[in-house]
Each structure stands twice: as C-alpha cells, then as structure tokens.
Amino acid sequence: MQKVLRIGTRDSQLAVWQATLVQNLLKEAGVSSELIYIKSEGDIDTVTPLYDLGVQGVFTKTLDAALLNNRIDIAVHSMKDVPTQLAKGIQPAAVLKRASYKDIFVYKEEKAIEELGYVNGQWSMVNNHESILTTHHSPFTIATSSIRRIAQWLHRYPHHQVDNLRGNVNTRLRKVQENNWQGAIFAAAGLERIEIRPENSVDLNWMLPAPAQGAIMVVCREEDEAAFEGCQSFHDTDTALCTKLERDFLRTLMGGCSTPISALATIENDEVVFKGNICSKDGKQKLDIEKKVLSADADMLGVLAANELLNQPSVLKIVQDIRNAKN
C-alpha cells in the first residue's frame, strides 16, 4: 500500500493555500497526502520586527524540526523564507514554477502614489537621495517589517518614515486601514495567490525583490526517497536555477534572510539575466550589479556576482556594518 505523505504547513491562509496546491499536484501524480498544521515562531510573535527576532528561518524552523522528528514527511515553504543553508538532514524535494516576484505598494489614497511619482501607470525617475515632491509635504509614512524593503525605500525616498508591520497578509492589510500610514509594501505573489490583492495597489517595478521571492519550495528528509520522488513531477527546473543563483548571491554576501540584499534572475532566450544589489540599512548607499550569461554557463553566476561586489571597499563596509549590528 502506498504511503500517505504528511504535508507540514503553517496555518495562515497563504501557507494553507500553498500546501493545498502541493497536495493537489501530488494527487495529479497519483500520490496520496494529508495536511498537518504547525504554528511557527514567526506566526506566534507578530510584534517584534522580523530583523530583531535574531534567527534565520523564523518561519521554517518549526516545520523543519517536525520533519526531522518524523511528524511530517514534507514541508511547504515560501522559498524566500528558507535559510540559504538547509538544516542538516533536510533536502529540497521540489521548487514550483514561480509566480510574481514583484513587491507592490498598497496605498490608501490616490494622491499618495502621485506624491511618490507614479503617474499614468509609470514611475518617474528619481535622483539619488532626492525624494520627488515629498520634501515639502507633510511626513509620508509607509509600513513594512522587511529590512530589504526599508533600505530600498529609504534610498529612493530618504525623507520618509517607516513603521513596523507584522502579521499574516490578511492582518497586515487590515492594519493598513487602521493606521495613519500612506500605505504598505507587500509581496505580489502572496496577495494574488489567495485573491486578495486590492485594486488600490501598484507594482514597485523599481524595487528589486528578495532572493527567491514568489517561489514555493518543498523539502523532505534526505533519506526519504518516496517523498522526494513523489514531488519530482512538479519540480520546475528554470525556477530552481534562477532561485539558486539568487540564494547563492545572498549566501556569498551575507548568508542570512533578514538582510538588505536583493536579487533577481530571469531566463530570456537561453540566457540568464541576473540583477542584484546590497544597501546600507539606512538606505543611504546602494550598490547594484547586472550580469548576463548563457543558461548552460550560469551555475556559478550568483557567486561570481557577489564576489564582484565584495571587491568594492564600499560593499565590504556595508557587509561589516550589517554583521556588527547583528552581534
């Protein structure tokens, strides 16, 4: 009799949606499964900013522990939350085809995005450290708990204020309406997957995403061949390559998820286009890199891009400052 795979998931609406997607894909492959709900530390503590929790894998470690303790057979994660170094004894089982990788801004009033420079569906160009229109207006406050989003936002809009925003996507959307903010930043994929993206939202095309944003990763125990093979039917090789390069870039620069480091790899006509950046936490400095190679030669592209940045003294200073702040 075929084994019924136990799928570990957080109990938020988005996490359950992702786990159910995997369950349906397993069913299409002829594999039976059931959902096992597990609450993570990141779900329990919705007050402390993510960058102050002091651990990697805040949303994944509880599921990983359940996996290693044989309470579940596979765990489903938003890939951007997965540490670049998996826990010992755990291996990737599948990376699903990526959804939108973009960040979006959910605003309360139309005049807010106009003040940001979004007119007729386009973002206006901004000079470094020169906020458009906002310098002489009342304080402009946005909300996010992501250090990466904060750094890129303050680089573009240095006069703005940023407040902490925690909770699942439904809670965060509600908080936007309840607080005195002009808006908040979300991942497009999360809101679009559960069909709650508001009409009053715009893509932040100028903001580079977190490594692996928009991708879903399934992990299993290293020795569990049945679980691994059961997930291979929905493993997407293009997404796996692109997210590997992005996570290699992150790991080579810093190694942690909660850092002001962004990366995006896309495949265009058998070529991989890689874009990455690192910011100082206050947004005053941002160093970018862009590279393009044939897909067949791309395996080390993320590492090469990171090392190229690390050859710049200003990048080494940013990395050192971030590490000192974490200690």
Positions marked active-site: 81
- The DSSP output letter for 162 is E
- Determine contact, residues 63/75, Cβ cutoff 8 Å: yes
Strand partners, 262: 277
Q: How many Cβ atoms from other residues are within 10 Å of residue 189's Cβ?
A: 25
Strand 118-119 and strand 122-123: pairing?
antiparallel
- Determine contact, residues 143/163, Cβ cutoff 8 Å: yes
Closest by CA to 202, choosing from 105, 91, 65, 66, is: 105
Let me know the angle formed at the C-alpha of 49 by 71 and 279, rounded to the nearest 5 degrees: 110
Phi and psi, residue 286, nearest 5°: -145, 125
* 90-95 β-sheet, strand order: 33-37, 5-9, 74-78, 216-221, 90-95
**CA-based R_g, the chain, Å:** 20
CA dihedral 39, 41, 47, 48 (to 10 degrees): -170
- Which three-class secondary structure state does DSSP give residue 138? coil
